[in-house]
Structure 1
Amino acid sequence: MAKGDDAIRRKKNKLNRKKQRANDSATVSNRIAAIIAAKKRRQSGKRRNCQGMCFSLPTPEDPFNDKYDKMDIKGKETKKVVPSKEDCKVAINRNSVASNKGTPGGNHVSIDHQQQLEKVKGNKWWNDQAMSLRSTEHVGKENVVKRVRKKDFEQSGCPSKVLALCLDSIQNALRRDGFLSSEEDKPLFMNKWGVEFWKCYSVGNDILETSGACSTIEQIAWIASTAADSISRKEKEGLSLMGPSLLFLVPSQGEAIKVRTVCKPLKAHGIHTVSLHTGAPIDHQIHGLKNIEPEFLVSTPERLLELVSLKAIDISGVSLLVVDGLETSIKGGHSDVIKSIRHHISTNPHTVVFSDCSSHASIPLVQNLLRGSICRLSLHDSITSQGACIMQSVHVCASEEEKIPKGIQVLDQAGGDELEGQFSKVLFIVGNNSNFHPLVSAIESKGYSVALNSAPSSEIENRKSRPSVFVFKAEHINTIDIGEFEVVIISDFVHKMDDYVQILTRMARHTASGALHSFLTAENAALIEQLIEILERCGQAVPEAVRNLFRSISMVEG
């Protein structure tokens, strides 16, 4: 064989081996391929985020490279989808929102909304409010947790993004329609009343609003947005929603239109609002309710009760009940109607009542609607607003010695055998030191637990089935929070009316059944005229004995 042929064969075999090696590298296992790929990335200087700790050296501060285990590797952010109304209905019918994957018609969060969220997140006042809420929740944490679980509430921490989005949508719509001034710089989510409302709502307390007879646009916006946020949370947990979640009772057709105008922008977030009033034919409303499943229901009391009796709407599952303009409804003769509507709700809903309590007749209805622990909210600090729903009783005594037996009689009426357990704590305020020890002895002889000049404690409160009685000297009254006391008895009337006003506006902050009793003698003549004025301003009845005492003193001075 010629030498030239041998050289050609060797060259050909070399090419064949090279091709074979190429074929072998193409059929390697996935593990080997991953190793090869990692090597190429390492050589090119490109690494995955998770490979950072593999090539980082230990330091004296972090000898075991523990800090890399806590790294927050953020992936690609995706747009969040707010489910449309159709999506929510599909999820509700299947009893699970988890199966709802969204539709092409879903409502996506806009860029403006994302910018608004960043504004909320970076706002110092908003964050301070959230931090103060967290700090208040840690005080008595065990009791708060038990209360929230008992009422099945999901809100905690700070206001959610859904709440901010709803408030932003309402504000933009109202400014566009001219209901709010576009030059106003303060956004709705910075409204202090709204934040206080959210705090009370999130811990499960009913709310008594005493600023005025009816709600404002800002207050309606916060209530509607909070209710929408609550619906969103429940749907995320897979809870089915049957019937309206929010029931807003209003005294007139005009108020119904106002509330629906504020709630209308929430339709973009899957919240549909229906308004019912006597200004429209009832047949038309019945036909409309058959085709619509509203989340929010706004109605006048008489029309709603009529539709409920015809079984055109089911309100048994309402979770938030708002009664607006209570005095106007009472003047229209709808007190019994509101009570009947409340009985048709089988759940234990959050209840919000807007009432200035200017009339004594409204107090029993407020107490019927707000039966548990409440929060008092108001836009201002007037006497009539802060002292709403507190019964002021004035007793005239002929002498100092008569005050003690009359005080014991009032105490027995507040927590005696017939009304045992109606009130949990009673506060006696004694201004005359000579009456202090005789009063304590008289109270103890009746079998009450007595604490002297000390703050309330659970040990004292649980010692007896009867109310716990706390006896304080007038000079020590500023050392405790009298907001915990439902009944306050001023055994010796105050020397200044400012002290009386302070007691009235600070007591019974968590109940709608407060009672303030005062004992007068002829020595308090200089303050009787001011006391009568306060009673009249608060819509309280002035006893005839008080008026007679004032007339007799005026005649003597004349």
Structure 2
Amino acid sequence: MIGIAQTGTGKALAFLLPALIHTDGQTTPREKRNGPNILILAPTRELALQIAKEVNKYSFRGIKAVCIYGGGNRRDQISVFKEGAECVICTPGRLNDLVQAKVIDITSVTYLILDEADRMLDMGFEPQIRKILLDIRPDRQTVMTSATWPPSVGRLAESYMNNPIQVCVGSLDLTATHTVSQNVELLEDADKFNTVLAFLKNLKSTDKVIIFCSKRARADDLSSDLSLKGLSTQCIHGSRDQTDREQALADIASGDIQVLIATDVASRGLDIEDITHVINFDFPRNIEEYVHRVGRTGRAGRTGTAISYITRSDWGVAKDLIRILEEAGQAAPEELYRMSNRFEKMKERRGTDFKRGGGFNRRY
């Protein structure tokens, strides 16, 4: 099955409950199975840990789950797994590591879930995923879920799924959740810091903000600069130690801090229920990632606000952003339309479909 639905709509529960029932209904007794029945692949450590937390909420018929991910203590993870687990939640790299080490036998898997499949492909996990899919028995049940469904994931589904049913909640077209107010500010890159600083200085005590940056160094620099201005922040990205990443999420969830600065490692699936604002300090490299970032607020029926800083170098995404804003009934600045028109005319002149960041980045 392929499940597509907007962020914050409960896709995790939709694939977990059938998985638990499937495992409980197996005719072979648990003690005679060679390994786990359920395998859940996730693109990031944080999402894997969150899914594991959801599984453990239900305690269904004594089914045990273990979370295996890079950055965690390998020996401890192996020790917990060997105690017995029907469900393994993991990131692709660490799973392949333990399969090759013959710690985990995935030939016993009968129910496979690929959560946020498009993000795993985008992160370069396709070779690992294809190897895992080849190692698992062909008569498995397979579920792929995401809030977006680009062509690359469709091709993977065609290769490794047998006549799948596609369930789409809402529109299959790329849309942002309608519970979020989307605002766009056009400015120079040098003005971003003072703009975000002025906004953060006026936060209410109940506000919580995630600020997305394009690069790890940019996130670190912004966190340091805001700290020097007296603001308490945390930072999460792929180069930070796993314990620091988990602490950052715990601090924003508990309210110990109001501002979390992140790269796209935090854009997918993470459910911090009371995020009131998302700020795109740097606009993402594709419009799918924009939709996922915006979905960190306005979850489970709540409302939220997304603010995106757009600079001259972002003109290649203007057309897609306008389409997302119009679909949600949101106003787009006139300058964004002009930016889009200029980019389209440039493409016509050049006769080439330039992609953002592809070497053409002069003033428009």
Under a length normalisation based on structure 2, what TM-score does the superposition of the two structures give?
0.45
Name which one, 1 or 2, has greater alpha-carbon Rg: 1
User: Quick check: which one's helix share is greater?
Assistant: 1
Report which structure shows greater RCO (CA 8 Å, sep ≥6).
Answer: 2
